[in-house]
Amino acid sequence: MSTVDKMLIKGIRSFDPENKNVITFFKPLTLIVGPNGAGKTTIIECLKLSCTGELPPNARSGHSFIHDPKVAGETETKGQIKLRFKTAVGKDVVCIRSFQLTQKASKMEYKAIESVLQTINPHTGEKVCLSYRCADMDREIPALMGVSKAILENVVFVHQDEANWPLQDPSTLKKKFDDIFSATRYCLSSLSL
């Protein structure tokens, strides 16, 4: 079974870009409690983004996900999420995703500037990069965790704004269940009996 060990958040939403905020996840359960605006939802959003590459539903293409440079009194803010987890076979892996939000003359510009998936070589102790490409990481991390991306998105790290999906219209519900259970459509006419 895969486990999440630690996560560092820096420059994401209300988490200050100058301070490294480290969350340690305890076994068998970690409770995240705090007053409104403390960053509880941001922690879950960072877990989901680290594991799936998906921005939260209210992130406006990343513009409202990274700490606002105007609040920091800067023209540019960098954000970073580092997630350390054990794979389904017990191997330590670190996922690093870094972002930048820049205030241009008339608009904000969001960029994903670095994505790294790394592990430690057990023989040499050196860091070994498994991937630098976001698309590869988005596929590789769920596979390393031994769970589908659909389960991570819709069950494990479901955003509170999307948590009511089981109550949605039948076609949306069917699509979610098809994704979760990796179902495919079968047409009777194509089956040979």
pLDDT tens digits for 67-125? 988 887 889 999 999 999 999 999 999 999 999 999 988 889 999 998 999 998 888 88
The pTM of this model reads 0.82
For 118-141, what is the mean pLDDT? 87
pLDDT greater than 50 at residue 190: no
pLDDT greater than 90 at residue 154: no
Give the sign of the dihedral formed by CA 41, CA 43, CA 44, CA 49.
Answer: positive
> What separation, in Å, do the N-terminal and C-terminal C-alpha atoms of the chain show?
40
pLDDT greater than 70 at residue 189: no
Confidence of residue 66 (pLDDT cuts 50, 70, 90): very high
Would you state the pLDDT for residue 183?
Answer: 55
In the chain, the largest separation of any two C-alpha atoms, in whole Å, equals 70
The percentage of residues in the chain with a pLDDT greater than 70, rounded to a whole number, is 94
pLDDT greater than 50 at residue 187: no
φ, ψ of residue 100 to 5 degrees: the values are -145, 135
Phi-psi region of 37 (alpha: psi -120 to 50; beta: other; left: phi over 0): left
Range 128-137 contact pairs with CB under 8 angstroms and sequence separation of 24 or more: 130/93, 134/53, 134/97, 135/53, 137/53, 137/95, 137/97
pLDDT greater than 80 at residue 191: no
Confidence of residue 192 (pLDDT cuts 50, 70, 90): very low
- Mean pLDDT, the chain, rounded, equals 86
Would you state the pLDDT for residue 182?
Answer: 75
For 48-61, what is the mean pLDDT? 89
